[in-house]
Structure 1
Amino acid sequence: MKEPYILSIDQSTQGTKCLLFDCRGSLLHRTDAAHQQIVSPEGWISHNMEEIYRNLISCIRKLVTESGIDKDAVRCIGISNQRETTVAWNRETGKPICSAIVWQCSRSRSVCERIASGGHAALIQERTGLPLSPYFPASKMAWILEHNEEAKMLAAQKKLYLGTVDSWLIYRMTNNTCFRTDYSNASRTQLFNIRTQTYDKDLCSIFGVESSMLPKICDSDSLFGMTDLGGFFNHPIPIHSVLGDSQSALFGQGCLEPGMIKATYGTGSSVVINIGSDPKFSSQGIATSVAWRFKGRTQYIMEGNINYTGAVLTWLTELGLLSSAAESSELARQSNPEDSTYLVPAFTGLGAPYWDSDAKALFSGMSRKTGRAELVRAGLECIAFQIRDVLDCIKKETDLSIRNLFVDGGPTQNEYLMQFQSDLMNAAVQVPNTQELSGIGAAYMSGIAVGIYDESIFHVIHRTSYHPQMSPSLREKKYEGWQNAIKVVLEKQ
């Protein structure tokens, strides 16, 4: 019998990653392709979904060919995806009717303002666990329906589908036959009632979205459909897991028990704690969502989302302050330790726990001697400060004493950032020996679903630990400076 392999698709904000795993849970090979970040003069951020699908097909073909495996040995596929990015398409053709609205994009702010002025914000948060914000798909869907003529026409003809990236990928991969999503993605739409675990009729009405336009919600380890990837595979392969990227990273870290917490450092960041089988709700700007529905059991998370973390390093590179993100760690070490520069990266507003879509980015605390190294250090440190903001809120909500933070994502390879994060939290930071936790989570869940793995698979991952070295007085001095910088940004609105 052929050794079975698992294919994982990690469709992130910056690009498509395809990963191949063996029956022991080891990552054998990876291919990836970046897609264009479309930024309009208004600052709206979009993605071309046709480009993304072409990249997906190309990456999978390249992955299987370069690895040298027998493609007939691929047993199942898992999908991890950027969550709140919103796609609208023609149900008959599968073709998008416009570019996807990326989660970072706040063009639907006016929709949220109108709904808030109608007195609905409290109801929305109570039922969804999410603060009313243009970050989430519901207002993006409403914006499309209000501003896109083709969307209006297709909606009238009952031919419009609306969904997140996972549901569109599934639809295309299954030859326009399976219109499905999982509980983790559905819970981020702001149309999902977290108590009843269904789309909420009242919320759909508030946003003007008919439930018939939305995908069927399935368990995260369900069979979502079969794909031969446009004839590449000789027989159809089951898509047997779908998870939003943050939940997938939590699963990949093995954070299956209540109280376990992780942070994903990507374009933005997500700080997530597993809170078990009973949802808890925040008064501190922290969202409550579904972690996953796995083996017939729903688990919940509390989560803080940050708009700009890893993307700050991209911005610094675009400015010419860095030749690549990799040099930021050494440059930060060379900076003047007495410099008090802070960067608040509110390029598209502030996410948790502030949720201020009007906030603007700001450098503060500079002196005449502030230079390149100090600006880069401020860019790195703002990532850790934002993570602490969210962790402090989570501690207040859960009375949790955080001893370990499990982390993942490309910026976790930055030694300066990881040490500063540990110092700022006064807790250990656990960095895995792989950056691919979102892809791993989808692969492991799919592998468990088809019986290749069991839950002992999580012990495959090894970690490097960072422990706090900063004095308590310096820690609080630095954090107080950050809080003052945040106040300046919020008070200028």
Structure 2
Amino acid sequence: MEEKYILTLDIGTTTIRSFIYNSRAETVGKAVYSVVLHYPSPGYVEIDPDELWTKIVAVVHKSLQDASLSASLISAMGISTQRSTFITWSRKSGKSFHKFITWKDMRADKLVKQWNESYTWKLIKAGAYALYLVTRSKRFRAGSALKFMNSQTTLRLNWALTNIAALKQAVLDDDVMFGTLDTWLLYKLTGNTLHVTDVSSASATGFYDPFTMQWAGWAMTLFNIPMSALPTVVDTAGRHFTSTAPSLWGDSIPILSSMADQTASMWGSCCFDVGDVKLTMGTGTFFDINTGSTPHASVSGLYPVVGWRVGKELVYSAEGANNDTASIIKWAQNLGLFDNPEDTADIANSVPDTDGVYFIPAFSGLGPPYNDGTAAADSSELNRRPLAHT
């Protein structure tokens, strides 16, 4: 039997990885490059699209070389990407209006606080709760507890639409295409022809309704998001993704799947049954539980996202996230507290009494059950007493 090969491309916040597997799921080729994050101002976290594209093309090419294979021998490509990171570009020229604004970016923090505290939003949530009492609809129950977060795309996109002059003008000219990283990547891979996103990536933006499986009309109205700029939402797997442009690696590679990284991790961990749980720790920590064919309406901080949709199979997940894990470890390493992350276990066990001093890892607020983006360690208490231990 002729050997078949699958290429997987994963674009995270820290690394870009391309792995090639044979029919026995053995790795026959791989390449890993780092993602360069830019910090132009305090709280801003960006990725340069030209730098990223160059590395994506190079990492796939290097993995093909490592496997001693040509692109023509690859049967399929599967893609997973970081979520909520987005970019906008011109429909006519293909030129971007700004760099990728990542999910870790805090430039819209003031907007997040203003909206969460606004009478308008409180009224909307109260109305949703009243509708829930009448209808007992999970959708309205979830809406009554919905909070805006910096990790969602919604208010960062609203910030861009308000503050980037070229983008504002392009909206008036109907010359804007919006996309999270997966959308932009598929657009580039297919030679600027495909403008789609899969359901798992769409549901992580904050303005896609997992209960109706449509872009949320209320968000379009409140935040002036042009519907014409949004990509078509498609299944997680299928031939609708078409193939890569042959000019990239010498031949076309069929793209058969595109999926948000956290729910891709659920799939890879075989969390196929209701109640199955995965917990992954990378740049952040993400907890996901399979909730089956209906979205979960939580008031304890977990929020519903779409896991995947393949044909008639639609699977949801309830998710809780802490946005800072690797970043906190890196911060502590830079302070010289330890060299190897494994050393932290011994450090923790060697300090029986901290004299009441605790470290709260709230670099980007606290996740569930609080979902409080304003939470932070209070340095005032620390300043009033000497630190017994470092």
Same structural fold, with TM-score higher than 0.5 when normalized by the shorter chain: yes
The one of 284, 294, 297 equivalent to 1:281 is 297
Distance 1:368 1:146, change over 3 A: closer
Distance 1:159 1:259, change over 3 A: same
Match of 1:248 in 2: 264
CA distance in 2: counterparts of 1:220 and 1:112, whole angstroms? 30
Match of 2:132 in 1: none
Q: Equivalences for 1:42-53 in 2 at 5 Å?
A: 42-53=42-53
CA distance in 1: counterparts of 2:248 and 2:39, whole angstroms? 34
Answer whether contact 1:265 1:309 (CA < 8 A) is retained: yes
Match of 1:197 in 2: 213
Answer whether contact 1:273 1:301 (CA < 8 A) is retained: yes
Match of 2:177 in 1: 161
**Unaligned segments of structure 2, at least 5 residues:** 129-139
Answer whether contact 2:30 2:62 (CA < 8 A) is retained: no
What residue identity is the alignment partner of 1:251? W
Deviations 1:315-351 (A, max 9, x none): 1122222334354455555x32344653212222223
1:233 aligns with 2:250: yes
Answer whether contact 2:357 2:387 (CA < 8 A) is retained: no
CA distance in 2: counterparts of 1:295 and 1:164, whole angstroms? 23
SS at match of 1:280: coil
Q: Equivalences for 1:266-415 in 2 at 5 Å?
A: 266-325=282-341, 327-329=343-345, 331-332=347-348, 335-339=350-354, 341-361=357-377, 368-371=387-390
SS at match of 1:344: coil
Distance 1:30 1:342, change over 3 A: farther
CA distance in 2: counterparts of 1:295 and 1:247, whole angstroms? 17
What residue identity is the alignment partner of 1:120? W
TM, length-normalised to structure 2: 0.87
SS at match of 1:311: helix
CA distance in 2: counterparts of 1:229 and 1:71, whole angstroms? 9
CA distance in 1: counterparts of 2:293 and 2:273, whole angstroms? 10
**Unaligned segments of structure 1, at least 5 residues:** 372-493
CA distance in 1: counterparts of 2:368 and 2:50, whole angstroms? 31
Answer whether contact 1:184 1:244 (CA < 8 A) is retained: yes
Q: Which has the higher helix share?
A: 1
Distance 1:30 1:149, change over 3 A: same
CA distance in 2: counterparts of 1:220 and 1:130, whole angstroms? 26
The one of 160, 171, 175 equivalent to 2:187 is 171
How many residues of Structure 1 are paired with residues of Structure 2 in the alignment? 369
Answer whether contact 2:178 2:230 (CA < 8 A) is retained: yes
Answer whether contact 1:86 1:165 (CA < 8 A) is retained: yes
Match of 2:153 in 1: 137
1:109 CA drift (Å): 2.4
Query: Which structure carries more relative contact order (alpha carbon 8 Å, separation 6+)?
Result: 1
Q: Equivalences for 1:421-436 in 2 at 5 Å?
A: none
Match of 2:38 in 1: 38
What residue identity is the alignment partner of 1:227? T
What residue identity is the alignment partner of 2:48? N
CA distance in 2: counterparts of 1:217 and 1:341, whole angstroms? 48
CA distance in 2: counterparts of 1:2 and 1:154, whole angstroms? 50
1:14 aligns with 2:14: yes
Distance 1:173 1:70, change over 3 A: closer
CA distance in 2: counterparts of 1:243 and 1:221, whole angstroms? 8
SS at match of 1:167: helix
Answer whether contact 2:30 2:66 (CA < 8 A) is retained: no
Answer whether contact 2:141 2:297 (CA < 8 A) is retained: no
SS at match of 2:159: helix
CA distance in 2: counterparts of 1:55 and 1:248, whole angstroms? 22
Distance 1:128 1:54, change over 3 A: farther
**Bigger Cα displacement from structure 2, 30-39 vs 73-82:** 30-39
CA distance in 2: counterparts of 1:293 and 1:129, whole angstroms? 26
Q: Equivalences for 1:448-487 in 2 at 5 Å?
A: none
1:20 CA drift (Å): 1.1
TM, length-normalised to structure 1: 0.70
1:208 CA drift (Å): 1.0
Match of 2:135 in 1: none
What residue identity is the alignment partner of 2:248? G
CA distance in 1: counterparts of 2:143 and 2:89, whole angstroms? 27
Answer whether contact 1:129 1:288 (CA < 8 A) is retained: no
Distance 1:175 1:33, change over 3 A: same
Match of 1:379 in 2: none
1:91 aligns with 2:91: yes
Answer whether contact 1:221 1:294 (CA < 8 A) is retained: yes
